[in-house]
Amino acid sequence: MELMGSDLIIHAGDVGGPEILDRLRTIASVVAVRGNADRGPWATVLPIAETVRLAEIDLYVLHDVGELDLDPRAAGFHAVISGHSHQPRIEHRNGILFLNPGSAGPRRFALPVSVARIHVRDCRLEPEIVQLNV
């Protein structure tokens, strides 16, 4: 499995159900936000946005980057992690990493099934998109 060996798993929403989070927690600690498809009592405990600090690096996690209501650079974030479009993307804007890992769940449209890995080295983020063979 592509997530084995991870120190932390970040889920940017559209989880699908609490059992998914339970399975991920058997691999590593999990930070998850609620996506637009996450409904029901189990999903109400998931925040809309979350902050994560890794070493000296601050990440902002939300489901839909279109709902980003802050300037990540001014707020001191190094990266914004989002989902929603399910389109894997690594982009840098004004020195900030914008990362969408895609979707590891059922294939959506003609998009690849993917996750992202972020390696933190010397206070630098090294992201990569990993396509899953399903």
- pTM, full prediction: 0.93
16-47 residues labelled b (16+ CB within 10 A) or e (exposed): beeebbeebeeeeebbbbbbeebeeeebeebe
Class of domain 8-131: alpha beta
What does the alpha-carbon distance between residue 96 and residue 48 come to, in Å, rounded to a whole number?
20
Q: Is the pLDDT of residue 94 over 70?
A: yes
Q: Give domain limits for the chain.
A: 8-131
Q: Which helix (H) or strand (E) holds 57?
A: strand 57-62
User: Which tens digits make up the pLDDT trace of 17-55?
Assistant: 999 999 999 999 999 999 999 999 999 999 999 999 988
User: What value does the mean pLDDT take over residues 56-65?
Assistant: 97
